[in-house]
Protein backbone atom coordinates (compact mmCIF):
# COMPACT_ATOMS: atom_id res chain seq x y z
CA UNK A 1 0.00 0.00 0.00
CA UNK A 2 1.30 3.47 -0.91
CA UNK A 3 2.54 5.56 2.03
CA UNK A 4 1.09 9.05 2.41
CA UNK A 5 3.48 9.92 5.25
CA UNK A 6 6.98 8.53 5.44
CA UNK A 7 9.32 9.63 8.22
CA UNK A 8 12.79 8.14 8.24
CA UNK A 9 15.45 8.27 10.95
CA UNK A 10 14.05 11.31 12.76
CA UNK A 11 16.19 12.59 15.58
CA UNK A 12 15.32 15.64 17.60
CA UNK A 13 16.64 17.38 20.68
CA UNK A 14 15.42 20.43 22.58
CA UNK A 15 18.74 21.84 23.67
CA UNK A 16 20.53 18.84 25.15
CA UNK A 17 17.32 16.96 25.96
CA UNK A 18 16.77 14.09 23.57
CA UNK A 19 13.18 13.72 22.42
CA UNK A 20 13.84 10.74 20.16
CA UNK A 21 16.49 9.22 18.02
CA UNK A 22 16.28 7.36 14.73
CA UNK A 23 12.48 7.32 14.69
CA UNK A 24 10.93 5.89 11.53
CA UNK A 25 7.32 5.25 10.62
CA UNK A 26 4.97 5.26 7.69
CA UNK A 27 1.26 5.96 7.31
CA UNK A 28 -0.38 4.03 4.47
CA UNK A 29 -3.02 5.63 2.31
CA UNK A 30 -6.59 5.32 3.63
CA UNK A 31 -5.59 4.47 7.21
CA UNK A 32 -6.22 6.33 10.45
CA UNK A 33 -3.08 6.22 12.52
CA UNK A 34 -3.07 7.30 16.15
CA UNK A 35 0.09 8.35 17.92
CA UNK A 36 -0.06 7.54 21.62
CA UNK A 37 2.45 8.40 24.25
CA UNK A 38 2.78 9.87 27.69
CA UNK A 39 3.35 13.57 28.14
CA UNK A 40 6.77 14.60 26.88
CA UNK A 41 7.38 11.61 24.63
CA UNK A 42 7.34 13.74 21.50
CA UNK A 43 3.80 13.56 20.10
CA UNK A 44 3.45 17.28 19.48
CA UNK A 45 7.07 17.41 18.32
CA UNK A 46 6.20 14.82 15.68
CA UNK A 47 3.10 16.76 14.63
CA UNK A 48 5.16 19.96 14.42
CA UNK A 49 7.76 18.23 12.24
CA UNK A 50 5.01 16.78 10.05
CA UNK A 51 3.32 20.12 9.61
CA UNK A 52 6.63 21.80 8.77
CA UNK A 53 6.90 23.97 11.90
CA UNK A 54 9.92 22.23 13.34
CA UNK A 55 13.10 21.22 11.63
CA UNK A 56 14.35 17.93 13.05
CA UNK A 57 18.01 17.71 13.92
CA UNK A 58 18.31 14.89 11.41
CA UNK A 59 16.08 12.63 9.34
CA UNK A 60 13.52 13.34 6.70
CA UNK A 61 9.71 13.41 6.56
CA UNK A 62 7.89 13.08 3.27
CA UNK A 63 4.20 13.69 2.63
CA UNK A 64 2.83 12.55 -0.73
CA UNK A 65 6.46 11.85 -1.65
CA UNK A 66 7.71 15.41 -1.06
CA UNK A 67 10.14 16.48 1.66
CA UNK A 68 8.15 18.61 4.11
CA UNK A 69 10.89 21.21 4.43
CA UNK A 70 10.87 21.93 0.69
CA UNK A 71 7.25 21.05 -0.06
CA UNK A 72 5.45 22.75 -2.94
CA UNK A 73 2.99 25.18 -1.22
CA UNK A 74 0.13 23.97 -3.42
CA UNK A 75 0.50 20.50 -1.88
CA UNK A 76 -0.79 21.96 1.40
CA UNK A 77 -4.22 22.03 -0.28
CA UNK A 78 -4.25 18.26 0.23
CA UNK A 79 -3.37 18.47 3.93
CA UNK A 80 -5.86 19.47 6.63
CA UNK A 81 -4.25 20.63 9.85
CA UNK A 82 -5.91 20.81 13.25
CA UNK A 83 -3.75 22.61 15.80
CA UNK A 84 -3.83 21.62 19.47
CA UNK A 85 -6.63 23.48 21.25
CA UNK A 86 -8.67 23.90 18.02
CA UNK A 87 -6.93 27.19 17.38
CA UNK A 88 -8.69 29.35 14.80
CA UNK A 89 -8.73 33.02 13.94
CA UNK A 90 -10.47 34.45 17.00
CA UNK A 91 -11.25 37.76 15.34
CA UNK A 92 -13.50 36.21 12.69
CA UNK A 93 -17.05 34.95 12.89
CA UNK A 94 -18.46 31.74 11.40
CA UNK A 95 -19.29 33.31 8.05
CA UNK A 96 -16.10 35.31 7.70
CA UNK A 97 -13.80 32.39 8.38
CA UNK A 98 -15.58 30.23 5.80
CA UNK A 99 -15.37 33.01 3.25
CA UNK A 100 -11.68 33.49 3.98
CA UNK A 101 -10.64 29.85 3.61
CA UNK A 102 -12.87 29.14 0.61
CA UNK A 103 -10.74 31.38 -1.62
CA UNK A 104 -7.65 29.26 -1.02
CA UNK A 105 -9.28 25.99 -2.03
CA UNK A 106 -11.02 26.56 -5.37
CA UNK A 107 -12.58 23.47 -6.98
CA UNK A 108 -12.43 21.47 -3.75
CA UNK A 109 -14.17 23.63 -1.14
CA UNK A 110 -17.38 22.08 0.25
CA UNK A 111 -19.32 24.94 1.72
CA UNK A 112 -22.31 22.69 2.46
CA UNK A 113 -20.23 20.34 4.62
CA UNK A 114 -19.14 23.28 6.76
CA UNK A 115 -22.60 24.76 7.18
CA UNK A 116 -24.15 21.35 7.84
CA UNK A 117 -21.92 21.02 10.89
CA UNK A 118 -22.43 24.66 11.88
CA UNK A 119 -26.20 24.16 11.83
CA UNK A 120 -25.76 21.75 14.75
CA UNK A 121 -24.17 24.50 16.83
CA UNK A 122 -26.61 26.75 18.57
CA UNK A 123 -24.77 29.93 17.61
CA UNK A 124 -25.61 32.85 15.37
CA UNK A 125 -23.76 33.05 12.03
CA UNK A 126 -22.24 36.36 13.12
CA UNK A 127 -20.93 35.03 16.43
CA UNK A 128 -17.25 35.67 16.91
CA UNK A 129 -15.06 32.61 17.34
CA UNK A 130 -13.45 34.28 20.36
CA UNK A 131 -16.80 34.08 22.16
CA UNK A 132 -17.31 30.38 21.51
CA UNK A 133 -16.72 27.53 23.92
CA UNK A 134 -13.87 25.13 23.22
CA UNK A 135 -16.42 22.54 22.06
CA UNK A 136 -18.00 24.95 19.60
CA UNK A 137 -14.57 26.00 18.33
CA UNK A 138 -13.69 22.36 17.76
CA UNK A 139 -16.71 22.05 15.50
CA UNK A 140 -15.69 25.14 13.55
CA UNK A 141 -12.20 23.71 13.10
CA UNK A 142 -13.58 20.33 12.06
CA UNK A 143 -16.12 21.95 9.73
CA UNK A 144 -13.34 23.86 7.99
CA UNK A 145 -11.33 20.68 7.53
CA UNK A 146 -14.36 18.84 6.14
CA UNK A 147 -14.98 21.74 3.75
CA UNK A 148 -11.34 21.76 2.66
CA UNK A 149 -11.78 18.08 1.80
CA UNK A 150 -8.08 17.22 2.15
CA UNK A 151 -6.56 13.83 1.34
CA UNK A 152 -4.55 13.81 4.56
CA UNK A 153 -5.66 15.09 7.97
CA UNK A 154 -3.10 15.88 10.67
CA UNK A 155 -4.84 16.37 14.01
CA UNK A 156 -2.96 17.38 17.14
CA UNK A 157 -4.69 16.35 20.38
CA UNK A 158 -8.16 16.84 18.94
CA UNK A 159 -9.93 15.90 22.18
CA UNK A 160 -8.28 18.49 24.39
CA UNK A 161 -10.80 20.67 26.20
CA UNK A 162 -13.85 18.84 24.84
CA UNK A 163 -16.65 17.44 26.96
CA UNK A 164 -17.80 13.85 26.21
CA UNK A 165 -20.64 14.98 23.92
CA UNK A 166 -18.45 17.13 21.70
CA UNK A 167 -15.73 14.48 21.68
CA UNK A 168 -18.20 11.88 20.48
CA UNK A 169 -19.61 14.26 17.87
CA UNK A 170 -16.11 15.03 16.64
CA UNK A 171 -15.04 11.38 16.46
CA UNK A 172 -18.23 10.21 14.75
CA UNK A 173 -18.17 12.98 12.13
CA UNK A 174 -14.50 12.49 11.48
CA UNK A 175 -14.72 8.72 11.15
CA UNK A 176 -17.72 8.96 8.83
CA UNK A 177 -15.92 11.47 6.62
CA UNK A 178 -12.63 9.60 6.53
CA UNK A 179 -14.07 6.18 5.82
CA UNK A 180 -16.56 7.39 3.21
CA UNK A 181 -13.88 9.30 1.30
CA UNK A 182 -10.88 6.99 1.87
CA UNK A 183 -8.85 9.72 3.56
CA UNK A 184 -5.65 9.26 5.53
CA UNK A 185 -5.38 10.58 9.09
CA UNK A 186 -2.48 11.05 11.47
CA UNK A 187 -3.62 12.08 14.93
CA UNK A 188 -2.75 12.34 18.57
CA UNK A 189 -5.07 12.45 21.54
CA UNK A 190 -4.66 12.07 25.26
CA UNK A 191 -8.12 10.49 25.54
CA UNK A 192 -7.40 6.91 24.61
CA UNK A 193 -11.05 5.81 24.49
CA UNK A 194 -11.52 8.20 21.55
CA UNK A 195 -8.60 6.62 19.77
CA UNK A 196 -10.14 3.18 20.20
CA UNK A 197 -13.28 4.31 18.40
CA UNK A 198 -11.37 6.00 15.63
CA UNK A 199 -7.99 4.58 14.67
CA UNK A 200 -7.00 1.66 12.46
CA UNK A 201 -3.33 1.63 13.45
CA UNK A 202 -1.42 2.69 16.54
CA UNK A 203 2.03 3.90 17.27
CA UNK A 204 2.77 3.78 20.98
CA UNK A 205 5.74 5.89 21.96
CA UNK A 206 7.90 5.81 25.00
CA UNK A 207 10.61 8.31 25.88
CA UNK A 208 12.94 8.41 22.89
CA UNK A 209 11.53 5.50 20.89
CA UNK A 210 8.56 3.70 19.37
CA UNK A 211 7.36 0.80 21.52
CA UNK A 212 5.10 -0.67 18.90
CA UNK A 213 3.41 0.16 15.61
CA UNK A 214 0.59 -2.23 14.77
CA UNK A 215 -3.02 -2.30 13.65
CA UNK A 216 -5.26 -1.58 16.63
CA UNK A 217 -7.09 -4.90 16.39
CA UNK A 218 -3.79 -6.76 16.37
CA UNK A 219 -2.72 -5.02 19.57
CA UNK A 220 -6.04 -5.76 21.24
CA UNK A 221 -5.95 -9.40 20.16
CA UNK A 222 -2.33 -10.17 20.98
CA UNK A 223 -1.42 -8.04 23.99
CA UNK A 224 -2.54 -9.60 27.26
CA UNK A 225 -2.26 -8.89 30.92
CA UNK A 226 -0.97 -11.92 32.77
CA UNK A 227 -1.50 -12.18 36.49
CA UNK A 228 -0.72 -14.67 39.21
CA UNK A 229 -0.53 -14.92 42.97
CA UNK A 230 2.93 -14.56 44.49
CA UNK A 231 4.21 -14.55 48.09
CA UNK A 232 3.75 -11.19 49.81
CA UNK A 233 6.82 -9.01 49.63
CA UNK A 234 8.06 -10.45 46.33
CA UNK A 235 9.68 -7.81 44.12
CA UNK A 236 9.98 -8.78 40.44
CA UNK A 237 13.43 -8.39 38.89
CA UNK A 238 12.73 -9.44 35.28
CA UNK A 239 14.93 -8.32 32.43
CA UNK A 240 12.98 -9.91 29.56
CA UNK A 241 12.31 -7.24 26.90
CA UNK A 242 9.11 -9.00 25.81
CA UNK A 243 7.55 -8.93 29.27
CA UNK A 244 6.41 -5.37 29.87
CA UNK A 245 6.29 -3.70 33.28
CA UNK A 246 6.16 -6.62 35.72
CA UNK A 247 4.82 -5.45 39.06
CA UNK A 248 3.65 -6.98 42.30
CA UNK A 249 1.26 -5.36 44.76
CA UNK A 250 1.04 -7.45 47.94
CA UNK A 251 0.23 -10.94 46.59
CA UNK A 252 -0.89 -9.86 43.14
CA UNK A 253 1.70 -10.11 40.36
CA UNK A 254 1.03 -8.84 36.82
CA UNK A 255 2.90 -8.42 33.59
CA UNK A 256 1.96 -7.48 29.99
CA UNK A 257 3.11 -9.28 26.88
CA UNK A 258 2.37 -9.99 23.22
CA UNK A 259 3.54 -13.57 23.76
CA UNK A 260 1.07 -16.48 24.13
CA UNK A 261 0.25 -17.76 27.67
CA UNK A 262 2.44 -20.86 27.52
CA UNK A 263 5.46 -18.88 26.40
CA UNK A 264 4.92 -16.29 29.15
CA UNK A 265 4.50 -18.99 31.78
CA UNK A 266 7.74 -20.65 30.68
CA UNK A 267 9.67 -17.40 30.76
CA UNK A 268 8.32 -16.44 34.18
CA UNK A 269 9.21 -19.83 35.62
CA UNK A 270 12.66 -19.62 34.04
CA UNK A 271 13.10 -16.20 35.61
CA UNK A 272 12.20 -17.64 38.99
CA UNK A 273 8.89 -15.87 39.61
CA UNK A 274 7.32 -17.76 42.54
CA UNK A 275 3.84 -18.17 41.08
CA UNK A 276 1.29 -19.85 43.32
CA UNK A 277 -1.48 -21.38 41.21
CA UNK A 278 -2.39 -20.64 37.62
CA UNK A 279 -1.22 -17.81 35.41
CA UNK A 280 -4.32 -15.84 34.36
CA UNK A 281 -4.60 -14.14 30.99
CA UNK A 282 -6.86 -11.15 30.22
CA UNK A 283 -7.71 -9.34 27.01
CA UNK A 284 -7.31 -5.58 27.13
CA UNK A 285 -8.88 -2.42 25.87
CA UNK A 286 -6.59 0.19 24.33
CA UNK A 287 -6.16 2.18 27.53
CA UNK A 288 -5.05 -0.91 29.45
CA UNK A 289 -2.79 -1.87 26.55
CA UNK A 290 -1.25 1.60 26.56
CA UNK A 291 -0.60 1.49 30.30
CA UNK A 292 0.70 -2.06 29.99
CA UNK A 293 3.26 -1.01 27.40
CA UNK A 294 4.28 2.35 28.82
CA UNK A 295 3.89 1.69 32.53
CA UNK A 296 1.92 3.54 35.16
CA UNK A 297 4.73 5.89 36.07
CA UNK B 1 -5.10 37.38 2.73
CA UNK B 2 -6.07 41.05 2.56
CA UNK B 3 -9.58 40.08 3.65
CA UNK B 4 -8.21 38.53 6.85
CA UNK B 5 -6.01 41.54 7.54
CA UNK B 6 -8.96 43.85 6.97
CA UNK B 7 -11.25 41.90 9.33
CA UNK B 8 -8.54 41.89 11.97
CA UNK B 9 -7.59 45.55 11.83
CA UNK B 10 -10.60 47.43 10.54
CA UNK B 11 -11.69 49.01 13.86
CA UNK B 12 -8.15 49.99 14.68
CA UNK B 13 -7.71 51.46 11.20
CA UNK B 14 -10.70 53.69 11.78
CA UNK B 15 -9.23 54.81 15.10
CA UNK B 16 -5.80 55.29 13.51
CA UNK B 17 -7.09 57.42 10.66
CA UNK B 18 -9.31 59.49 12.94
CA UNK B 19 -6.68 60.06 15.63
CA UNK B 20 -3.75 60.89 13.31
CA UNK B 21 -6.00 63.16 11.26
CA UNK B 22 -7.20 64.70 14.51
CA UNK B 23 -3.64 65.50 15.58
CA UNK B 24 -2.86 66.96 12.14
CA UNK B 25 -6.04 69.02 12.39
CA UNK B 26 -5.08 70.20 15.87
CA UNK B 27 -1.70 71.44 14.58
CA UNK B 28 -3.52 73.43 11.91
CA UNK B 29 -5.93 74.78 14.51
CA UNK B 30 -2.96 76.10 16.52
CA UNK B 31 -1.56 77.74 13.40
CA UNK B 32 -4.94 79.23 12.58
CA UNK B 33 -5.30 80.64 16.12
CA UNK B 34 -1.90 82.33 16.00
CA UNK B 35 -2.73 83.82 12.61
CA UNK B 36 -6.10 85.04 13.94
CA UNK B 37 -4.60 86.54 17.12
CA UNK B 38 -1.26 87.90 15.92
CA UNK B 39 -1.46 88.02 12.16
CA UNK B 40 0.27 86.10 9.41
CA UNK B 41 3.34 88.33 9.55
CA UNK B 42 4.02 87.19 13.10
CA UNK B 43 3.72 83.57 12.03
CA UNK B 44 6.21 84.03 9.21
CA UNK B 45 8.55 85.82 11.56
CA UNK B 46 8.58 83.17 14.31
CA UNK B 47 8.89 80.41 11.73
CA UNK B 48 11.97 82.08 10.24
CA UNK B 49 13.60 83.36 13.40
CA UNK B 50 12.56 80.84 16.08
CA UNK B 51 12.39 77.60 14.07
CA UNK B 52 8.70 77.15 14.87
CA UNK B 53 7.05 74.59 12.57
CA UNK B 54 3.59 74.15 14.17
CA UNK B 55 3.68 70.37 13.57
CA UNK B 56 5.64 69.42 16.68
CA UNK B 57 2.55 67.83 18.27
CA UNK B 58 2.79 65.19 15.56
CA UNK B 59 6.28 64.09 16.56
CA UNK B 60 5.44 60.72 18.14
CA UNK B 61 1.96 60.23 16.68
CA UNK B 62 2.99 58.21 13.58
CA UNK B 63 5.37 56.17 15.75
CA UNK B 64 2.61 55.13 18.14
CA UNK B 65 0.17 54.55 15.26
CA UNK B 66 2.63 52.27 13.41
CA UNK B 67 3.54 50.39 16.55
CA UNK B 68 -0.10 49.74 17.47
CA UNK B 69 -0.92 48.65 13.93
CA UNK B 70 1.79 45.97 14.16
CA UNK B 71 0.43 44.84 17.53
CA UNK B 72 -3.16 44.69 16.27
CA UNK B 73 -2.11 42.87 13.11
CA UNK B 74 0.46 40.39 14.41
CA UNK B 75 -0.28 39.75 18.09
CA UNK B 76 -3.44 37.72 17.21
CA UNK B 77 -1.30 35.65 14.84
CA UNK B 78 1.04 34.72 17.67
CA UNK B 79 -1.80 34.00 20.10
CA UNK B 80 -1.72 30.21 20.54
CA UNK B 81 0.60 30.16 17.49
CA UNK B 82 -2.27 30.99 15.17
CA UNK B 83 0.40 31.87 12.62
CA UNK B 84 0.63 28.15 11.93
CA UNK B 85 -2.80 28.38 10.32
CA UNK B 86 -1.67 31.22 8.11
CA UNK B 87 1.51 29.46 7.08
CA UNK B 88 -0.45 26.30 6.32
CA UNK B 89 -2.39 28.05 3.58
CA UNK B 90 -1.47 26.75 0.11
CA UNK B 91 0.59 29.82 -0.73
CA UNK B 92 4.35 30.29 -0.41
CA UNK B 93 5.40 31.60 2.98
CA UNK B 94 7.24 34.48 1.38
CA UNK B 95 4.05 35.53 -0.42
CA UNK B 96 2.00 35.22 2.77
CA UNK B 97 4.25 37.40 4.91
CA UNK B 98 4.87 39.88 2.10
CA UNK B 99 1.13 40.29 1.59
CA UNK B 100 0.53 40.77 5.30
CA UNK B 101 3.30 43.33 5.61
CA UNK B 102 2.31 44.90 2.29
CA UNK B 103 -1.15 45.49 3.73
CA UNK B 104 0.30 47.16 6.82
CA UNK B 105 2.82 49.27 4.88
CA UNK B 106 0.06 50.39 2.49
CA UNK B 107 -2.14 51.38 5.43
CA UNK B 108 0.67 53.36 7.07
CA UNK B 109 1.47 55.11 3.79
CA UNK B 110 -2.18 55.95 3.08
CA UNK B 111 -2.53 57.31 6.61
CA UNK B 112 0.68 59.37 6.19
CA UNK B 113 -0.41 60.75 2.82
CA UNK B 114 -3.81 61.66 4.25
CA UNK B 115 -2.11 63.53 7.11
CA UNK B 116 0.15 65.38 4.67
CA UNK B 117 -2.81 66.31 2.49
CA UNK B 118 -4.61 67.68 5.56
CA UNK B 119 -1.54 69.71 6.56
CA UNK B 120 -0.81 70.91 3.03
CA UNK B 121 -4.43 71.80 2.26
CA UNK B 122 -4.39 74.58 4.84
CA UNK B 123 -0.72 75.50 5.05
CA UNK B 124 -0.28 76.17 1.34
CA UNK B 125 -3.05 78.77 1.55
CA UNK B 126 -1.42 80.83 4.30
CA UNK B 127 2.30 80.10 4.04
CA UNK B 128 4.90 80.50 1.35
CA UNK B 129 6.15 77.39 -0.40
CA UNK B 130 9.44 77.55 1.52
CA UNK B 131 7.65 77.64 4.85
CA UNK B 132 5.01 74.94 4.36
CA UNK B 133 7.53 72.62 2.69
CA UNK B 134 9.82 73.19 5.70
CA UNK B 135 7.00 72.10 8.02
CA UNK B 136 6.21 68.99 6.00
CA UNK B 137 9.86 68.01 5.58
CA UNK B 138 10.35 68.40 9.33
CA UNK B 139 7.47 65.98 9.91
CA UNK B 140 8.58 63.49 7.24
CA UNK B 141 11.22 61.66 9.38
CA UNK B 142 8.58 61.21 12.09
CA UNK B 143 6.29 59.55 9.55
CA UNK B 144 9.16 57.38 8.36
CA UNK B 145 9.68 56.48 12.02
CA UNK B 146 6.04 55.33 12.05
CA UNK B 147 6.72 53.01 9.14
CA UNK B 148 9.94 51.78 10.77
CA UNK B 149 8.09 51.22 14.07
CA UNK B 150 5.52 49.11 12.23
CA UNK B 151 8.16 46.94 10.53
CA UNK B 152 10.34 46.59 13.62
CA UNK B 153 7.39 45.81 15.89
CA UNK B 154 6.24 43.13 13.43
CA UNK B 155 9.79 41.71 13.40
CA UNK B 156 9.77 41.56 17.19
CA UNK B 157 6.27 40.14 17.60
CA UNK B 158 6.77 37.44 14.94
CA UNK B 159 10.01 36.29 16.55
CA UNK B 160 9.23 32.95 18.29
CA UNK B 161 12.04 32.99 20.88
CA UNK B 162 11.39 35.43 23.77
CA UNK B 163 15.13 36.01 24.39
CA UNK B 164 15.62 36.94 20.77
CA UNK B 165 12.47 39.04 21.04
CA UNK B 166 14.07 41.11 23.78
CA UNK B 167 17.14 41.49 21.57
CA UNK B 168 14.94 42.58 18.63
CA UNK B 169 13.21 45.09 20.90
CA UNK B 170 16.50 46.65 21.96
CA UNK B 171 17.75 46.83 18.37
CA UNK B 172 14.41 48.37 17.37
CA UNK B 173 14.74 51.08 20.02
CA UNK B 174 18.20 51.97 18.75
CA UNK B 175 17.00 52.06 15.15
CA UNK B 176 14.02 54.25 16.04
CA UNK B 177 16.39 56.65 17.81
CA UNK B 178 17.89 57.44 14.38
CA UNK B 179 14.66 59.16 13.37
CA UNK B 180 14.69 61.47 16.39
CA UNK B 181 18.35 62.47 16.65
CA UNK B 182 17.78 66.12 15.78
CA UNK B 183 14.91 68.38 16.79
CA UNK B 184 15.96 71.19 14.45
CA UNK B 185 13.40 71.78 11.67
CA UNK B 186 14.24 70.27 8.29
CA UNK B 187 17.56 68.96 9.64
CA UNK B 188 17.04 65.60 7.90
CA UNK B 189 16.44 67.09 4.46
CA UNK B 190 19.66 65.92 2.83
CA UNK B 191 19.37 62.54 4.51
CA UNK B 192 15.71 61.84 3.72
CA UNK B 193 16.23 59.74 0.54
CA UNK B 194 18.67 57.47 2.39
CA UNK B 195 16.40 57.31 5.42
CA UNK B 196 13.49 56.28 3.20
CA UNK B 197 15.50 53.49 1.58
CA UNK B 198 16.78 52.42 5.00
CA UNK B 199 13.23 52.26 6.33
CA UNK B 200 12.02 50.02 3.50
CA UNK B 201 15.13 47.87 3.94
CA UNK B 202 13.81 46.90 7.38
CA UNK B 203 11.07 44.84 5.72
CA UNK B 204 13.14 41.67 5.09
CA UNK B 205 13.88 41.40 8.82
CA UNK B 206 10.43 39.89 9.13
CA UNK B 207 11.36 37.05 6.82
CA UNK B 208 14.02 36.07 9.35
CA UNK B 209 11.38 35.85 12.09
CA UNK B 210 9.16 33.71 9.87
CA UNK B 211 12.06 31.42 8.93
CA UNK B 212 12.86 31.00 12.63
CA UNK B 213 9.20 30.33 13.42
CA UNK B 214 9.17 27.62 10.75
CA UNK B 215 12.27 26.00 12.21
CA UNK B 216 10.50 25.78 15.56
CA UNK B 217 12.85 28.09 17.48
CA UNK B 218 11.47 28.73 20.94
For A219-265, how does the pLDDT look when each residue is reduced to its tens digit (9 = 90+)?
888 888 998 888 887 888 878 778 888 888 888 888 888 888 888 88
Q: How far apart are CA A165 and CA A157, in angstroms?
A: 16
pLDDT of B192 reads 87
Cα A132 from chain centroid (whole Å): 26
Partner-chain contact A87 B80, CB within 8 Å: yes
pLDDT of A296 reads 64
Neighbours of A115 (CB within 10 A): 15
Q: Which of B51, B82, B63 is nearest to A84 (CA)?
A: B82
Q: Which of B3, B7, B215 is the best residue to mutate to test the A interface, defined by the most A CB atoms within 10 Å of its own CB? A: B7
Q: How far apart are CA A150 and CA B62, in angstroms?
A: 44
| Structure confidence at residue B175 as a pLDDT band (50, 70, 90) | very high
- Mean of the pLDDT values across residues A129-147? 84
Residues B74/B96, Cβ–Cβ less than 8 Å = no
Chain B residues lying within 8 Å of A76, measured CB to CB? 88-90
Q: Please state the domain extents for chain B.
A: 2-214
Q: Which runs of E-coded beta strand occur in A112-163?
A: 152-155
pLDDT of A119 reads 83
> What ipTM was assigned to the predicted interfaces of this complex?
0.80
The per-residue pLDDT for range A2-58, each reduced to its tens digit, is 788 998 888 888 888 888 888 888 888 888 999 888 887 888 888 888 888 888 888
- Mean of the pLDDT values across residues B76-102? 88
**A93 beta partners:** A128
For B92, nearest residue in chain A (alpha carbons): A73
Partner-chain contact A75 B80, CB within 8 Å: no
Candidates A52, A87, A103; nearest CB to B82 = A87
**A28 beta partners:** A3
Q: What share of chain B is helix, strand, coil (3-state, %, to 5)?
A: 80, 0, 20
Instruction: Look at chain B and count its residues.
Output: 218
For A75, nearest residue in chain B (alpha carbons): B90
- Mean of the pLDDT values across residues A156-185? 81
pLDDT of B214 reads 83
Amino acid sequence: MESVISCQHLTHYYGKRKIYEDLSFEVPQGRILGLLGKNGTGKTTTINILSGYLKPRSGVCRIFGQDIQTMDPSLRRRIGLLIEGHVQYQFMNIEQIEKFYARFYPNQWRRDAYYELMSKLKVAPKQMISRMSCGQRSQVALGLILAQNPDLLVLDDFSIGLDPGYRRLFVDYLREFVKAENKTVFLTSHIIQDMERLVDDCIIMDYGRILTQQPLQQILQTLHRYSATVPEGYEPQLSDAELYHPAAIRKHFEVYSFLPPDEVKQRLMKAGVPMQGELNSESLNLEDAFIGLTGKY
Amino acid sequence: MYYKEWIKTRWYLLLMFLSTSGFAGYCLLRLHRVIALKGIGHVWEIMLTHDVVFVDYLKYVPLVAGLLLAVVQFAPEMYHKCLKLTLHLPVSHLTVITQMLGFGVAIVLVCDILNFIILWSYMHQVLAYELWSRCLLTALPWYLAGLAAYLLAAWTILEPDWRRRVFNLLVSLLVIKIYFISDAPASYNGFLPYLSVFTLALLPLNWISIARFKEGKE
